[in-house]
Structure 1
Amino acid sequence: MSVPEPPPARPPTWEPDRRPDVAAGVAAGPWTPALSVTCASAACLVLVVVGVLAARPDVAVLGAAPLVLAVRALRARPTGAVDVRFEAGDDEDDLDVRGRAGRLQATLVVDGPGRWAAVTTTRQGRPGADVLVHAVGPRRLPVVARTVRTGPQEVATADVQGVGPDGVSVAEPTPAVTRSTVVLPATTPLLDLPLPRRLRGLTGPHESRRPGEGGGLRDVHPWVPGDRLRRIDWRVTARRSPDLSELYVRREHAQAEAVVVLVVDSRDDVGPDPRTWRGSVAPRPQDATSLDRARQAAASLARAYLEGGDRVGLDDLGVRRRPVPPGGGRRQLDRIRHTLALTAPEGQPAARLRPPRLPSGALVVVFSTFLDDESAAVAARWRNAGHRVVAVDVLPRLRVSGLYDRERLALRMMTLTREDRMAELADQDVELVTWRDEPAVTLRVLARRAQRHAGAGVPR
């Protein structure tokens, strides 16, 4: 039994252990005769009365036999209650984003004294499946929903009505039971990634500009007290000092790590249809919104940097709460993905007098639609403070078919203003990435732009 939706472009990942909100069992009321049985019994009773009054035994017998069977069935109707509950389905972690649908699974358990159960499922107010199942004993029904959205959402809502033997009696409909979960954003494989202007830490996966150990060759220098003997380059020593009056050692670059801060602008959650931007009409369920794209983009970058050994943090421009401090490891990725899934617009955001504080020398990645000046101004301030800033445009590809002339004009004016805003960011040395147009290639170009010398992304 499934609740169908159009197939999405990118699948999310469902992890139900993040919100263990399995619905408790709900019991139905008493059993009553079915309407068809009541009407048929009344008709048979009329036939019996007419046959008796008209002295027609054939007519009376014609109505007496069904009436006796109906009374016998009603006396044997069930007396217990129908129990309905949701259980979580198997956890799925589908990272393939090339066309397969994201699936949310749960199990509907129906248990009651009747032989049949009429099950009606809905999802977010839209009709789903309406089936009659054989329910002798506990019956487990798989419920599958397909979605392109991320964050808290409903898997399915079920209404169940028990049906007695031969359909003679029915139970009162059970109260609706709902299964909800948190859909975590999926990740996209990325290639090379840009690095901050200045690397930090005493060790890490990247080669820095300061002298140390673990990196590439820095230079060859005469031996001084403190140099290790195993670093002596005997070939250079033999060439420059054949009499061994002076020893030469090889010096290397130190290894360091990058600190990346992902900043999500949760103030806007718009879909590809501009008519839904006013908020009076909700975006279609099969359309991924800008916030869905921002979650996926941030989760993809977080996974790529963390797998490379860097430290990643998370902040939100839409709300004022404690950010996720930079950290590393698998747990940090799980924490960032769960925080991203719970990120959502929360009323009218307060104006910021100054941008959030960031670690020194961090790479800042801002995910926004840039429909207003707030996020662009914050990104420009971070760039003026010396950070390397990458602005990721997460606005979906717009669908302009069906718009009125005045709506097209308003959209055109908004697009021109937004393009001017993005051009100003580029003039202020903020690097731009459009997530809907091959982001992996653009990020790789930004990464190679600063790899012309040792210590990628670090000025001399």
Structure 2
Amino acid sequence: MSLPDSTPGGRPPPTVDRTHWRRGAGIGVPVLIAVVILAVGILSGRVEVAGLALPVLLSVAWSLHRRPDAAEPEEGTGRVEVTAGDHDAGAGRIGGRVVWRPGPRSEQLRVTVSAPGHTAARMVLGRRPRATDPAPDAEGGVRAVPVSMRSVRTGRRPVFGVEAVETCAGQVRIRPAQQLPPIAVTVLPTARGLRELPLPPRLQGLTGPHGSTRAGDGGDLRDINLFLPGDRLRRIDWRVTARHAGPGRLTDLYVRRTFATADATVMLVLDSRDEVGADVRTWGDVSAVREDQPTSLDHARDAAATVARSYLEAGDRVGLDDLGRLRRPVPPAGGRRQLDRLRQRIAVSEPDGEPKQRRRVPRLPSGCLIVLFSTFLDDEAMWLAQQWRSSGHRVVAVDVLPVLRLTELDPRQRVAYRIVAMERRDRLAALARSDVEVVRWLADPADPGQPPLDVAMTALARRRVRR
């Protein structure tokens, strides 16, 4: 069952913490029918017509006779569960399952499933599974129904709130609604690939995918020099040795020396202190952002996962720090497991209360490349980038502000946005003057000269400087 899209979204009623059966509305219809038939028979003087009401009354009496005991223990009631695992934002849908484990007296279940930004969906489940059910379980009559919703958002998302009502004896008896709060699902950011990547000014490590300026075991020729202690015999260049040797005698050996290879250390710095949407009117309340419109933090998560995947696939080491939380950063490492670890940490990064002012600059590995993902709506991210650059790091600032919609702003909101936009432009200009390389994650249609991240990273890679 797929939930239809809707901006307001349905909200289930408050939780009712009771488990006893009570009389349902289903008893009123057959009693009313029996009374009408009996009245028609009596008024018309026809006994056979009045006798037609007898089976209906007997059915109602039998249902009331076999009603569950009012003091029935809770173990005899049915259970409703909602399950959902981690998802990838690239799929565009979040899926889960509603599982009903009926009790001994349960016959039917009325379920209402709600999700943020979607209209609530309703369904009725019978006790016995049918062949059309996606995953029926004949043992105990367990029913499992898949549910899904469309969303482009990432991070920890509350989804699939459920209201369930069990009935028995033809809906003569029902239980008060079971209210299940929305479950939290982790939606992982999409990690794409980039063609070329900038490198830090100084490469580290004894081996790696990049050529360095140190002598060592590599592929590029550095020079030809005399054989010295420590040189390997397989590097002797016999042609050069023969040319320098005198007639009939061999005095010196010459070896071919190459440049060593090394890897790059990259630190991703995610600014999760704020989260804004494309609609400026929702900047004061991120919960008002629609499910089909990614926020700045969604863009930052996708950009960080993309950069992490690109560097890790190139053989470099990548770490992560979050400006929104004062905790130990993820140390730089390489490999597939590091990418999975980074995606999980990036996905759970979110605003945590009022942003805390940092008293000192976070200490990052020496000589690393720092990639900062922020909206630059305040001065702290700009100040940190400038401090890192003055310390000798190469800093790339990725602007993750969404492409904004300004057509529906009133005059006061438009003036307020213009002030914020001017301050933000001043910060980006100050970063450029501080030799911090600024790129955008998304290409802005209003600025045709601004390239997307892939093109901008390629341009930065061709300007790299090695030491």
TM-score, normalized by the shorter chain, greater than 0.5: yes
2:261 pairs with 1:261: no
Select the residue among 174, 179, 204 that pairs with 1:175: 179
Question: How far is the alpha carbon of 1:178 from its aligned partner?
Answer: 3.9
Residue pair 2:152, 2:292 contacting (<8 A) in 1 also:
yes
Match of 2:97 in 1: 106
Residue pair 2:95, 2:148 contacting (<8 A) in 1 also:
yes
Structure 1 CA distance for aligned equivalents of residues 460 and 261 of structure 2: 21
Match of 1:440 in 2: 454
- Residue type of the alignment partner of 2:263: E
Match of 2:386 in 1: 380
Match of 1:129 in 2: 121
| Structure 1 residues 93 and 344, CA gap change in structure 2 (3 angstroms) | closer
Superposed, which structure 2 residues align to 1:166-245 within 5 Å? 166-176=170-180, 178-241=182-245, 243=247, 244-245=250-251
Superposed, which structure 2 residues align to 1:14-413 within 5 Å? 29-38=19-28, 40-41=30-31, 44-45=34-35, 48=38, 57=47, 60-61=50-51, 63-77=53-67, 80-88=76-84, 97=90, 100-112=91-103, 113-124=105-116, 126-136=118-128, 137-164=141-168, 166-176=170-180, 178-241=182-245, 243=247, 244-279=250-285, 282-413=288-419
| Structure 1 residues 405 and 208, CA gap change in structure 2 (3 angstroms) | same
Structure 2 CA distance for aligned equivalents of residues 238 and 48 of structure 1: 124
Residue pair 2:87, 2:188 contacting (<8 A) in 1 also:
no
Structure 1 CA distance for aligned equivalents of residues 88 and 116 of structure 2: 23
- Residue type of the alignment partner of 2:463: R
**3-state SS of 1:3 partner:** coil
- 1:85-136 CA-partner distances (Å, limit 9, x unpaired): 22346x6557xx4xx5243333423423433221110113753310112222
**3-state SS of 1:216 partner:** strand
- 1:201-257 CA-partner distances (Å, limit 9, x unpaired): 222222111111124111112333332222122233344546444332111111212
| Structure 1 residues 381 and 280, CA gap change in structure 2 (3 angstroms) | closer
Structure 1 CA distance for aligned equivalents of residues 463 and 246 of structure 2: 43
- 1:409-428 CA-partner distances (Å, limit 9, x unpaired): 32233223222221221122
- Residue type of the alignment partner of 2:96: Q
Question: How far is the alpha carbon of 1:441 from its aligned partner?
Answer: 2.0
Structure 1 CA distance for aligned equivalents of residues 217 and 153 of structure 2: 46
**3-state SS of 2:383 partner:** helix
- Residue type of the alignment partner of 1:343: S
- 1:387-422 CA-partner distances (Å, limit 9, x unpaired): 000001111111122111232232233223222221
- 1:275-320 CA-partner distances (Å, limit 9, x unpaired): 1112386222221111111112112212222222222111122221
Structure 1 CA distance for aligned equivalents of residues 206 and 457 of structure 2: 26
Structure 1 CA distance for aligned equivalents of residues 3 and 246 of structure 2: 83
- Cα RMSD of the aligned pairs, angstroms, is 2.9
Residue pair 1:3, 1:128 contacting (<8 A) in 2 also:
yes
Question: How far is the alpha carbon of 1:386 from its aligned partner?
Answer: 0.6
Q: Which residues of structure 2 form unaligned runs of 5+? A: 7-15, 70-75, 129-140, 444-451
Count of residue pairs the alignment pairs up: 430
Structure 2 CA distance for aligned equivalents of residues 382 and 31 of structure 1: 66
- Residue type of the alignment partner of 2:333: G
Question: How far is the alpha carbon of 1:368 from its aligned partner?
Answer: 0.2
Residue pair 1:33, 1:74 contacting (<8 A) in 2 also:
no
- Residue type of the alignment partner of 1:103: I
Percent of aligned positions that are identical: 47
Match of 2:11 in 1: none
- Residue type of the alignment partner of 1:116: Q
| Structure 1 residues 349 and 361, CA gap change in structure 2 (3 angstroms) | same
**3-state SS of 1:213 partner:** strand
Residue pair 2:84, 2:185 contacting (<8 A) in 1 also:
no
Question: How far is the alpha carbon of 1:47 from its aligned partner?
Answer: 6.8
Structure 1 CA distance for aligned equivalents of residues 92 and 84 of structure 2: 19
- Residue type of the alignment partner of 1:115: E
Residue pair 2:3, 2:118 contacting (<8 A) in 1 also:
no
Structure 1 CA distance for aligned equivalents of residues 403 and 183 of structure 2: 32
Question: How far is the alpha carbon of 1:146 from its aligned partner?
Answer: 2.6
Residue pair 1:34, 1:168 contacting (<8 A) in 2 also:
yes
Structure 1 CA distance for aligned equivalents of residues 97 and 183 of structure 2: 8
Bigger mean CA deviation after superposition, 59-68 or 367-376: 59-68
Question: How far is the alpha carbon of 1:46 from its aligned partner?
Answer: 7.6
Residue pair 1:232, 1:250 contacting (<8 A) in 2 also:
yes
TM-score by length of structure 2 reads 0.83
| Structure 1 residues 379 and 419, CA gap change in structure 2 (3 angstroms) | same
Structure 2 CA distance for aligned equivalents of residues 324 and 3 of structure 1: 37
Match of 1:12 in 2: none
Match of 1:2 in 2: 2
| Structure 1 residues 390 and 283, CA gap change in structure 2 (3 angstroms) | same
Residue pair 2:83, 2:96 contacting (<8 A) in 1 also:
no
